[in-house]
Amino acid sequence: MGISAGGGHGGPKSDINITPLVDVVLVMLVIFLLAMPIQIRKIEIQVPQELDQQTISISDAITVTILGKADGSIVINEGSGDTSITRVDLAKSLNKLFTRSKGKEVVMFVDFEDPVKYNDVISIMDTVRGAAPKRKVEKADGTSYMVPEVKIALKIRDVDRIKR
């Protein structure tokens, strides 16, 4: 403690001596800095290995793009070109597609023009999911449910196509 005499009040004045406090804080800082490398855990990351040509297999999946237009029509592209159909004929066209693609994996991307209403988007997606062939999956508890064999996803638009 430091004592200072003076001032108009006339008595000794006591202040806290911060030197021991600073010494203790510096010692604790050094201890934590030395203990820090011990506490750091190593995390192993497994990087994918480069595959040789014999391991690589090319999928013979059929990629189908379905575009819902603002006027109510639908454009289906199976890779051979665009085919424009009405919404009523969507399920029939998809059934024909699925019967032609027996044994092959089908991946469907569904896209919509900006003015298409949300109700129409859900309706078209439900039609696509309903037309897809299904397989039965059983749970461990004995119950079962049907799963579409077709992979269906909304198409991600290019940044250039998005109007700002």
**Domain locations in the chain?**
62-154
Comparison of pLDDT for 19 and 51, the residue scoring more: 19
Residues in the chain: 164
Which pLDDT score is estimated for 160?
52
Q: Which two tokens stand for residue 19?
A: 């030197």
> Which residues are 14's β-sheet partners?
3
* Residue type for position 76: I
Return d(Cα 63, Cα 108) in angstroms, integer.
6
Which pLDDT score is estimated for 140?
84
How far apart, in Å, are the Cα atoms of 150 and each of 23, 51, 73, 98? 70, 28, 22, 9
**First-last CA distance in the chain:** 69
10-14, 79-83, 97-101, range with the lowest pLDDT:
10-14
Which pLDDT score is estimated for 9?
64
Comparison of pLDDT for 59 and 31, the residue scoring more: 31
Which pLDDT score is estimated for 19?
92
Neighbours of 152 (CB within 10 A): 16
Span 98-145, pLDDT tens digits: 888 777 788 888 888 888 888 888 888 888 888 888 888 888 888 888
pTM for this model (two decimals): 0.55
Which pLDDT score is estimated for 40?
67
Confidence of residue 164 (pLDDT cuts 50, 70, 90): very low
Confidence of residue 75 (pLDDT cuts 50, 70, 90): very high
Which pLDDT score is estimated for 6?
55
Q: Which two tokens stand for residue 158?
A: 């290019």
Instruction: Please give the class, per CATH, of domain 62-154.
Output: alpha beta
Comparison of pLDDT for 7 and 87, the residue scoring more: 87
pLDDT higher than threshold 70 for residue 5: no
Return d(Cα 82, Cα 111) in angstroms, integer.
14
Average pLDDT for the chain: 80
Q: Are 149 and 108 in contact (CB under 8 A)?
A: no
